[in-house]
Every structure is written in C-alpha cells, then in structure tokens.
C-alpha cells in the first residue's frame, strides 16, 4: 500500500485539494492501486492552531510518505508574522526537508485553449515547454537579514549561493528530460552580472557537453521577453530557483491560466506535487478557483512517485475531456461555455475518468 500525505494548506488550497483528492481516489480505484490518503496541516491555518507553519507531524508524515500532494499556503492575515513563522516557510521547509531539488513545471498550450491566452493564438499555438527549476538552493535559501543597521540607517540583504554539485544535479535532470523530448536545453541565467550565474553557465556547459542534447544560454531578461515573443522556440528551460519561480508564472498564462499548471518536485526521496500558483486570497472561499493544476499535479504524482503512467494519463485525458466538453472555471470563462465552480470542475473531470 502506498501512503500519500495530503496537505491542502490555506486559501484556495482547501477547495482545490478536495477536487484533486476525489480524482486521485477514483483513479486509484479504477486502476487497482492501493493507496492510503492522510491529511496534514501546514501554512497559516497550521500556525493559527499550533503556532508553527510547519508542524513536526507534517514533516514526519511527508518523509514517511510515498508522495506528497500539496495545495498552497499564505495569506495577508499572516504577512505581519516574523519571517520564520510566515506560512510560506511551510512550503520552503517541506521542500528542504524532502530534499526536492528539481522542480518540473510543464507549460503546455492545449490546441483548444490557444485562444484563451492573453497573447495572439498564432504565437502560443504549439507551445510545449518543460521548465526545470532548481528548488533547494539559491537566494530563497541563502542567508538574509531584514533589520541590519548601517550608520543608523536600516538595511536588508539576501544572498544567493550555488555550488557546482547543486548545479550539476539540476543540469543532469534537465538533460535527461530533454532526451525524452526535443533534445534541446535553454539555460537561463544573468551571467553578465551575477557570480552565481557565471558558475551556473560554466557548469551547465560542462554537464551538457556529453549529454547528447543541444544547449543554448539566455539571459533571464531576454528570456522573459522571448517567452511572450516566441514561446515555441523553447523545449527544456533550465534555471535557478528565483528565475524559475518568476518565469513559470509568466509562462503559465500562455496556456490560458495559472490555475491549469501543475508541478512535480523531485529529489532522492519522496516527491512533492503542487500546482504552481499560490493560495489566491482574492478568490478564496468562493468555490471559483480552477482545480485543474492540482488535479494534474496528482497525475504527476502517479507517474513520478508511484510509477503508474497509465493512471496518470487517465487523469490528464479526463481533464482534457472535461475542458473539451466546455467546462470552464471563472479564470477561463467565456460566453457560451459551461460555467463551473471548483466543485463542478472536479465533478466534470471525475465523470470523464476511465
């Protein structure tokens, strides 16, 4: 029996997770996969109850699980807390505890959703990018100080560090992924300014030399522009923690909505699966969030952590079929389509599962 730790978190996390869990349960029943789903708390709601955003019990359960399905954390209510107690520490802490260093964020534009992009249809049509984002290092995990004082004035600083071995392992992940795709890696950095980026570029260059993939390098500012100018030029996009965070939110709308996009975070142990978006406080509690990113993250869990590609594909096809039937949550709704609440969208996917 496989153990799955389910962590809904805050805001829309609760709503989207209900839909994803129902889909995961039904799929595993259909495919005879023996799983046990157990729910754990994290984020601001966990802080309210336990005075920590990442209770020890949640970490222990995640480490002992075969896969972790995570919703999202955060919200204005907790923004005043000291840094170590903020809800975001739950997801950062969990990534660190699980040692998941490779964040895979597929950005695909489904042909029937190409017109939903804010860009012209002819620009986004055919886009199929895999963002491989380094997840366990870089500036999100560097030393920082918020209240340093210098000559009586406040000063804050963050640091980014990357070691050769951290870069090598994520470059390896990107090259392996590229070999199963169109064999091209674009490594994104800011090597014209940053020391970490210069090490990044040299190391990626060396790692990819024997990998039987083609490689090019792009500065992150240019990449942000190329993603909207010609997204179809990218295959695998390899980058650091912060650049990957920013570029993946940008790229997410090529396919219609950030609510559609899943991710897998992989390392040596348990994998962590989440939508790429946050807790969306602006729409939380209204039953209007798009649950597809989380449902598709459950599919990635079946594929990468449970080794069940057919069951994963069944979920992916069911999401496609529900969308092709015309169901749309508010983020993608248009006249003439079937308006879906979060729960309706989950139910529409469930009906398509086979």
Ligand X SMILES: NC(=O)C1=CN([C@@H]2O[C@H](COP(=O)(O)OP(=O)(O)OC[C@H]3O[C@@H](n4cnc5c(N)ncnc54)[C@H](O)[C@@H]3O)[C@@H](O)[C@H]2O)C=CC1
Catalytic residues: 140, 190, 221, 245, 249
Task: Identify which of residues 53 and 178 has a Cβ nearer to ligand X in the complex.
Answer: 53
Task: Report 273-332 residues binding ligand COI (CB under 6 A).
Answer: 276
Task: Identify which of residues 245 and 331 has a Cβ nearer to Mg ion in the complex.
Answer: 245
H/E stretch holding 348 reads helix 342-352
Characterize the bridge pairing of strands 184-189 and 236-239: parallel
Task: Identify which of residues 99 and 281 has a Cβ nearer to ligand X in the complex.
Answer: 281
To ligand COI, the closest distance from the beta carbon of 141 in angstroms equals 10
Task: Report 234-273 residues binding ligand COI (CB under 6 A).
Answer: 245
Taking residues 181 to 210 in sequence order and writing x for each that binds ligand COI by CB under 6 A, - otherwise, the string is ------------------------------
Cα 248 off chain centre by: 8
**Residue tagged 């459950």 (tokens):** 298
Task: Identify which of residues 331 and 344 has a Cβ nearer to Mg ion in the complex.
Answer: 331
Question: Per this entry, what is the length of the chain?
Answer: 354
Burial class (CB in 10 A: 0-12, 13-18, 19+), 17: buried
Characterize the bridge pairing of strands 2-9 and 236-239: unpaired
To ligand X, the closest distance from the beta carbon of 221 in angstroms equals 21
Stretch touching ligand COI by CB under 6 A, among 38-46, 85-93, 144-152, 293-301: 85-93
* 283: contact with ligand X by CB under 6 A: yes
Instruction: Return the residue nearest ligand COI (CB atom).
Output: 88
Characterize the bridge pairing of strands 327-328 and 338-339: parallel
Cα 81 off chain centre by: 25
Question: Looking at the DSSP assignment, which residues form a beta bridge with residue 92?
Answer: none
Integer Cα distance of 45 and 85 in angstroms = 12
Rule CB under 6 A: choose which of 96, 201, 277, 303 binds ligand X: 277
Q: Is 246 annotated as a binding residue?
A: no
| Closest residue by Cα to residue 9 from 189, 192, 275 | 275
Task: Report 86-125 residues binding ligand X (CB under 6 A).
Answer: 88, 91
- Packed helices 342-352 and 309-324: angle between N→C axes, nearest 10 degrees: 120
> Can you give the binding site for Mg ion, defined by CB under 5 A?
245
Rule CB under 6 A: choose which of 8, 53, 55, 75 binds ligand X: 75
Q: Which residues of 85-108 are buried (b: 16+ CB within 10 A; e: fewer)?
A: ebbbbbbbbbbbbbbbbbbbbbbb
Residues that bind ligand COI (CB under 6 A): 88, 91-92, 140, 245, 276
Residues that bind ligand X (CB under 6 A): 12, 16, 72-75, 88, 91, 258-259, 274, 277-283, 289-290, 293, 331
Q: List residues forming the annotated binding site.
A: 95, 105, 133, 221, 245, 249, 278-290
């Amino acid at each position: 029996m496989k153990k799955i730790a389910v962590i809904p978190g805050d805001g829309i996390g609760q709503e989207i997770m209900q839909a994803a869990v129902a889909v995961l349960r039904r799929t595993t029943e259909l495919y005879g996969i023996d799983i046990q789903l157990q729910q754990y708390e994290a984020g601001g709601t966990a802080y309210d109850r336990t005075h920590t955003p990442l209770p020890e019990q949640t970490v222990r359960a995640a480490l002992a699980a075969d896969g972790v399905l995570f919703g999202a954390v955060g919200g204005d209510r907790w923004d005043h807390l000291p840094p170590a107690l903020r809800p975001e520490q739950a997801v950062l802490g969990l990534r660190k505890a699980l040692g998941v260093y490779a964040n895979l964020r597929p950005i695909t534009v489904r042909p029937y959703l190409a017109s939903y992009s804010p860009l012209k249809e002819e620009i986004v049509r055919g886009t199929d990018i895999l963002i491989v984002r380094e997840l366990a290092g870089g500036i999100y995990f560097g030393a920082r100080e918020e209240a340093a004082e210098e000559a009586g004035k406040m000063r804050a600083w963050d640091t980014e560090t990357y070691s050769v071995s951290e870069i090598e392992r994520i470059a390896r992940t990107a090259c392996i992924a590229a070999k199963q795709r169109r064999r091209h890696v674009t490594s994104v950095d800011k090597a014209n300014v940053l020391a970490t980026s210069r090490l990044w570029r040299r190391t990626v260059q060396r790692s990819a030399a024997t990998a039987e993939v083609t490689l090019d390098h792009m500065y992150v500012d240019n990449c942000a522009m190329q993603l909207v100018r010609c997204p179809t030029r990218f295959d695998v996009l390899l980058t650091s923690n912060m650049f990957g965070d920013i570029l993946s939110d940008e790229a997410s709308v090529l396919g219609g909505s950030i609510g559609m996009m899943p991710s897998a975070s992989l390392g040596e142990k348990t994998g962590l699966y989440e939508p790429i978006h946050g807790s969306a406080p602006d729409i939380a509690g209204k039953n209007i969030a798009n649950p597809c990113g989380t449902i598709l993250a459950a599919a990635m869990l079946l594929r990468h952590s449970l080794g069940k590609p057919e069951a994963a594909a069944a979920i992916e096809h069911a999401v496609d079929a529900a969308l092709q039937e015309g169901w749309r949550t508010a983020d993608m709704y248009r006249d003439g389509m079937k308006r879906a609440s979060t729960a309706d969208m989950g139910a529409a996917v469930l009906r398509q599962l086979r």
